[in-house]
Amino acid sequence: MAIFAPPPPNLGFFVGVLDFLASNEALLLAFAANAGRDPAAVLRARHLLAPPEEMI
């Protein structure tokens, strides 16, 4: 049996930050490079936190 925790109250803030990064390729690439992450991983994180409405 899986137990799901409620989302943190500031989840919308983090989704907004990831949306902002995703809206500008240069910014996304700079952020990903600075964080040592693949830019695609940043985009995947955004979709995991708040999938598009059609996926719900």
pLDDT of residue 7: 66
User: Where do the H-state alpha helices sit in 1-56?
Assistant: 11-22, 25-35, 39-49
Q: Which residues contact 11 (CB under 8 A, 6 or more apart)?
A: 49, 50
| Nearest residue to 40 via CA among 49, 30, 28, 51 | 28
Q: How many domains does the chain have?
A: 1
Please check whether residue 7 lies inside any domain of the structure: no
Please check whether residue 6 lies inside any domain of the structure: no
pTM of the model: 0.71
Please check whether residue 25 lies inside any domain of the structure: yes
pLDDT of residue 24: 95
Domain of residue 24 covers 15-49
pLDDT of residue 2: 61
Predicted confidence (pLDDT) per residue in 9-44, tens digit: 788 888 999 999 999 999 999 999 999 999 999 999
Please check whether residue 32 lies inside any domain of the structure: yes
Top-confidence residue, 50 or 30: 30
Please check whether residue 9 lies inside any domain of the structure: no
Please check whether residue 3 lies inside any domain of the structure: no
Please check whether residue 27 lies inside any domain of the structure: yes
pLDDT of residue 1: 52
Please check whether residue 33 lies inside any domain of the structure: yes
